[in-house]
């Protein structure tokens, strides 16, 4: 079983991307153990804070480093990555010489209410992660146009096409982790 550090780019309790992550987790039971990284207490990046690193930053880095792989689930804010996610990535890449992301296999997914399902944000995120030596899975991509009925409160995916896509995603992710590690 692979331990997956999950970073959701939304802090909202009713986040559709958190719902998506929980649905992926449920579909991957028995193959993956998801460990959600709490981004809510991570302060905005400030190099001066390395003198006494915030506990939330140390927890972020520890969870990423302990994971076998990473899963980024992101909404799209103004055609880009949400600040909370970019901020976490910046903290994890520092201090210089301690890039927690380096060499980690990873996958990206996301949802939005719009028809392009966070595609532009995911593109921006890929550019950033590649520079940090994250080893990204290419296919299948998850650009889910979220429909309220697609995922219920328990994380059950009601839509057959979405469930099939997420199942293929998990099978590919498992193979990707095995190959990369």
Range of the domain at 172: 2-180
Tally of domains within the chain: 1
The reported pLDDT for the residue numbered 33 is: 98
What tokens were used for 73? 């689930």
The reported pLDDT for the residue numbered 172 is: 98
* Residues 100 and 132 sit within 8 Å (Cβ to Cβ): no
C-alpha 72/C-alpha 178 separation (Å) is 18
90: domain CATH number?
A: 3.40.50.360
What tokens were used for 168? 């293929």
pLDDT tens for the 181 residues of the chain, in order: 999 999 999 999 889 899 999 999 999 999 999 999 999 999 999 999 999 999 999 999 999 999 999 999 999 888 889 999 999 999 999 999 999 999 999 999 998 887 777 899 999 999 999 999 999 999 998 888 776 557 877 788 888 888 899 999 999 999 999 999 8
C-alpha 96/C-alpha 88 separation (Å) is 15
Look up the pTM and report it. Answer: 0.95
The reported pLDDT for the residue numbered 147 is: 67
C-alpha 145/C-alpha 32 separation (Å) is 24
């Amino acid at each position: 079983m692979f331990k997956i550090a999950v970073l959701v780019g939304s802090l909202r309790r009713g986040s559709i991307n958190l719902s998506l992550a929980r649905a992926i987790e449920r579909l991957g039971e028995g193959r993956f153990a998801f460990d959600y990284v709490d981004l809510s207490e991570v302060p905005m990046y400030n190099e001066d804070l390395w003198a006494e690193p915030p506990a939330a930053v140390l927890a972020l880095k520890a969870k990423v480093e302990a994971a076998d792989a990473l899963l980024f689930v992101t909404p799209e804010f103004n055609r880009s990555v949400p600040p909370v996610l970019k901020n976490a990535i910046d903290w994890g890449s520092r201090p210089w010489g301690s890039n927690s992301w380096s060499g980690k296999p990873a996958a990206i997914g996301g949802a939005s209410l719009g028809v392009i399902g966070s595609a532009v944000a995911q593109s921006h995120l890929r550019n950033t992660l590649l520079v940090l030596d994250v080893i990204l899975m290419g296919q299948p991509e998850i650009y889910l146009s979220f429909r309220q009925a697609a995922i219920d409160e328990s994380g059950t995916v009601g839509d057959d096409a979405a469930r099939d896509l997420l199942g293929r995603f998990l099978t590919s992710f498992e193979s990707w982790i095995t190959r990369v590690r």
